[in-house]
Chains A and B, each alone.
Chain A
Amino acid sequence: MTPSRTTRWAILGLVGLIFAVPIAAMTEFTLRRGLEGGHDLSRWITLFTGQLDGGYRQVWVGLGNSVVLAIVTVLLVLVLLVPTMLLIRLRFPRLMPVLEFVCLLPITIPAIVLVIGLATVYGVVARMLGSGVWTLALAYGVLVLPFAFRAVQANLQAVDVQTLTEAARSLGASWPTVVVRVLLPNLRRGMLAASFIAVAVVLGEFTIASLLNRTNLQTALVVVSKNDPFTAVIFALLALLFAFLLLLVIGRVGSGRRPGRTS
């Protein structure tokens, strides 16, 4: 039932080649020299030697905002979602399907629909919490729920929470000790994967930021691309590379391979 070596590499090679075309086209685009034609590295050099002028300040602001948003979103996942999942797993296992349904709902409710109501919600949020950049993370936490839930759930199902808890309790551990010193260390992998995927989703988010008139990395790129599409494409390529490396790390974390161990 498995494909032959030739078939495998023929399919992967062909699809890979087709999918490489737009990425290659972006790269070629950034190397173009204005109207006189030809190619050079001047734009990449300008960027990496820090010679970009104030017109690109927006990108750095957007990047800074996106980093803040990514951090707050990860905190939301770790502080709100993970403890709730643990509590339900330990005390109210019957509610797990309900939690799963709620966490997967954002797949059914598109961001473009959420943003209509979020405009009103943020009117109130601004009065209570101010209009700081980080407040947008409250909306992003919802967007990453399906991904984060799946990552933590996969880990939770692989760990025998019941036995671990009973063992710790019978040795005299208090509940906080059980959670902090027994359960959370066992869930490290799921929490790490959930955090990485949250970072990737937040760095790529455009819909909500754009329609709420906030600045993040993606909206800044669109603004810059109106004046200098070339440099905007360089930034997009770098962001793409960063996201790829991030997901490569998730894959390694997820498959549970530790350095130096070959199995």
Chain B
Amino acid sequence: MLGLVPFSAYVVLFLALPTALAVGSGFLDAEGAPTLANLSALGDPVVLNTFGNSMLLSAVTAVVGAVVGALVCYALLGSRSDGRLRSTVDAISGVLAQFGGVMLAFAFTATIGVQGIVTVLLADVWGVDIFAEGVWLYDLPGLFLPYIYFQVPLMVITFLPALEALKPQWAEANATLGGTRATFWLRIGFPVLAPSFLGSLLLLFANAFSSYATAAVLASQGSQIVPLQIRAALTSETVLGRENLAGVLALGMILVMAAVMALYSVLQSRASRWQR
């Protein structure tokens, strides 16, 4: 058992301790004495609104990302898993899903920023001013497109392995029994894939809910979503006139994430029935 000590100590120091300190700080008052008073912040209209924004952003981008990503996975069905097409799509998806952050903020500023190429083209060629009602790229509405941009590739990475669970024999059985392509998908494909699809959808939700970098660079001020509100709470003494708000927000985030991930593991175990 002694051999397990270094890793355990590391995980305790750099995962368990920071999490406990983060959440614990929400239960301390300005003098460091324990209190439950800060928790009332989770009922503050401003905080509730921020959580609402975060959930809306995560839900919409997760659904769009899941549907488009699943279509891409479908298009890849039947391609060789060690082929050039698959490994290129895998690599592109990996980069866009995990490496994004700061780069995505730059990319969308260059695309639909005030001087972005799409903005300029739309204005010059069709006379459409996408910012007629004010510049929305650096605010909540501006986060949707960049988030979808990293959600679709994440869906491809997580959902593609599930599609491999569809056995060619099922398609053959369906055809032998006189089924059409439509009956295959309606009666076999969708029901078998449903748990994996919903599981991936939840993973996408969790991913958007916890992302920080893209939003932080695009919306350099303000606290439209929870991670940005944590930034505000960390960089200034008091936000909304409350102490230790960051800890309370962290607790709220972890509660949401834990609920999502618990549901995810339930769906995963259902999905694995077909992956033997």
Chain A residues in contact with chain B, CB under 8 A? 1-3, 7-9, 11-12, 15, 19, 21-26, 28-29, 76, 80-81, 83-84, 87-88, 91-92, 95, 102, 105-121, 138-139, 141-142, 145, 200-201, 203-207, 210-211, 218, 221-222, 225, 229, 232-233, 236, 239-240, 243-245, 247-248, 250-252, 255-257
- A116 to B227, alpha carbons, bound, how many Å? 11
Within 8 Å by CB of B71, from A11, A102, A210, lies A11
Q: Which residues of B contact A247 (CB under 8 A)?
A: 90-91, 94-95
Main secondary structure of the interface of A (DSSP, over half): helix
Whether A81 and B7, one on each chain, are in contact in the complex, defined by CB atoms closer than 8 angstroms, is yes
Whether B82 and A255, one on each chain, are in contact in the complex, defined by CB atoms closer than 8 angstroms, is yes
Whether A113 and B106, one on each chain, are in contact in the complex, defined by CB atoms closer than 8 angstroms, is no
Per-residue A-contact encoding for B1-38, CB less than 8 Å = 1, 0 else: 10110110011011101111111110000000000000
Whether B15 and A109, one on each chain, are in contact in the complex, defined by CB atoms closer than 8 angstroms, is yes
Whether B213 and A141, one on each chain, are in contact in the complex, defined by CB atoms closer than 8 angstroms, is no
Whether B15 and A142, one on each chain, are in contact in the complex, defined by CB atoms closer than 8 angstroms, is yes
- A141 to B246, alpha carbons, bound, how many Å? 23
Interface residues on B, range: 35 or more
- Shortest Cβ distance from A215 into chain B, in angstroms? 13
Question: Can you offer 28 A-B residue contacts whose CB atoms are under 8 A?
Answer: A8-B78, A8-B79, A11-B74, A12-B76, A12-B89, A19-B92, A22-B107, A28-B110, A29-B117, A80-B7, A83-B7, A88-B4, A92-B4, A106-B15, A109-B19, A110-B209, A112-B227, A113-B253, A116-B25, A117-B24, A117-B25, A200-B98, A222-B102, A222-B217, A232-B106, A236-B103, A240-B95, A244-B95
Stretch at the interface among B42-50, B129-137, B254-262: B254-262
Within 8 Å by CB of B99, from A2, A23, A203, A252, lies A203
Q: Which residues of A contact B209 (CB under 8 A)?
A: 110
Given A112-B210, A247-B94, also A117-B110 (CB < 8 A): no
Whether A84 and B18, one on each chain, are in contact in the complex, defined by CB atoms closer than 8 angstroms, is no
Whether A233 and B110, one on each chain, are in contact in the complex, defined by CB atoms closer than 8 angstroms, is yes
Question: Which partner residue on chain A sits nearest B104 by CB separation?
Answer: A22
Whether B109 and A108, one on each chain, are in contact in the complex, defined by CB atoms closer than 8 angstroms, is no
Within 8 Å by CB of A204, from B1, B13, B98, lies B98
Within 8 Å by CB of B6, from A11, A80, A88, A105, lies A80
| Other contacts beyond A83-B3, A102-B15: 5, CB < 8 A | A76-B10, A109-B254, A138-B13, A206-B101, A232-B106
